[in-house]
Structure 1
Amino acid sequence: MTNPNIRFFPRTSIEQVEEGTELAPRFDADGLIACITTDASSGEVLMLGYMNDEALQRTIATGEAHYWSRSRQLLWHKGATSGLVQHVEEMRVDDDQDAIWIRVSVAGNGASCHVGYRSCFYRQVPVGSKPLVEAETDWSGQALVFNEDHKVFDPEQVYEGMPNPTLL
């Protein structure tokens, strides 16, 4: 259900999109726009999600983050099941209006990752160093490094009986 009070403008010119005051988001071929979500206090990247027209409208109207789940193919009010609702403190759109950035405060324990970590970006990819395997060109043995040393909630308890939101 779209909100009739939220209106996106048609894209009419580069000047309108890049220098104007009208919100004219460019959704991709699947009807989605990328959304980077960061913690409003620390600036830490919490997640990358996608919004369709309805998710963006609901986020603007309610001040709570809504996304489109590509794996489940449904609208997703972040925290509706877990209680870890993301309250939008600030929303920005990039220069050509094809990406959204929201700064949020998260209810509860502050976690945003369905795996139980605070951030969905809980592992670091080593760069600029030799791979951990013999062949210089083979990076298959490169180990990810955990940046978070513990989960802030148990996803099996929170999402008991629900299908895993990530399809392998």
Structure 2
Amino acid sequence: MTKDGIAGAEEALGRIRFTDTGLVPAIIQQWDSREVLMMGWMDAEAFRRTMTEGRVTFWSRSRQEYWRKGDTSGHVQYVKGVALDCDGDTLLVTVDQVGAACHTGTRTCFDADQLAPTTGESPALETEDL
């Protein structure tokens, strides 16, 4: 952990819009394939740890404790990047995921319950003849 990493985390904390309960959602995405893996919650301390330790740390709302992905399962998330959305109320954490991201043992938390929405079509782009 470097002083620059700590200073960067502290500076970024001032821009994050946490919920009334002091949490911010963190979307976890595989850095190279861009596959969305999971969503977890972070408070200020979990964010600091994620920013300075190179591993993703979450706040468990059900257990009321910190948990670092992979400490018990071996399915570690190594931080590759962290971005704050335009509203400052959601984090995007890009990671190198080792093993399954979901607690059910699957690669992603978003592959088990595919819904059937009505889909839309993008209008065809009109091009001028040159």
TM-score using structure 2 length: 0.79
For the pair 1:125 / 2:115, whether they are aligned, the reply is yes
Residue in 2 aligned with 1:159?
none
Per-residue deviation, 1:23: 5.0
For the pair 1:111 / 2:113, whether they are aligned, the reply is no
Residue in 2 aligned with 1:58?
49
Per-residue deviation, 1:22: 8.0
The separation in 2 between residues aligned to 1:103 and 1:57, in whole angstroms, is 16
Match of 1:69 among 43, 57, 60: 60
Do 1:8 and 1:24's aligned partners in 2 also have CA atoms closer than 8 Å?
Answer: no
What code does the residue aligned with 1:8 have? E
The separation in 2 between residues aligned to 1:120 and 1:22, in whole angstroms, is 27
Q: Which has the higher contact order (CA 8 A, sep 6+)?
A: 2
The separation in 2 between residues aligned to 1:114 and 1:125, in whole angstroms, is 20
Tell which structure's C-alpha radius of gyration is larger.
1
Per-residue deviation, 1:79: 0.6
Equivalent residue pairs, number: 114
SS of 2:50's equivalent? helix
Residue in 1 aligned with 2:30?
39
Do 2:58 and 2:66's aligned partners in 1 also have CA atoms closer than 8 Å?
Answer: yes
Structure 1: which 4+ aligned runs deviate by more than 6 Å? none
Residue in 2 aligned with 1:152?
none
Give the superposed CA RMSD: 2.3
Do 1:35 and 1:51's aligned partners in 2 also have CA atoms closer than 8 Å?
Answer: yes
Unaligned stretches of 5+ residues in structure 1: 10-20, 130-168
SS of 2:10's equivalent? coil
SS of 1:57's equivalent? helix
Identity %: 40
Residue in 2 aligned with 1:97?
88
Greater helix share, structure number: 2
Q: Once the two structures are superposed, what CA deviation does each residue of 1:55-82 show, in whole Å capped at 9, x if it has no partner?
A: 0000001111001111211111011101
Do 2:13 and 2:44's aligned partners in 1 also have CA atoms closer than 8 Å?
Answer: no
The separation in 2 between residues aligned to 1:92 and 1:8, in whole angstroms, is 14
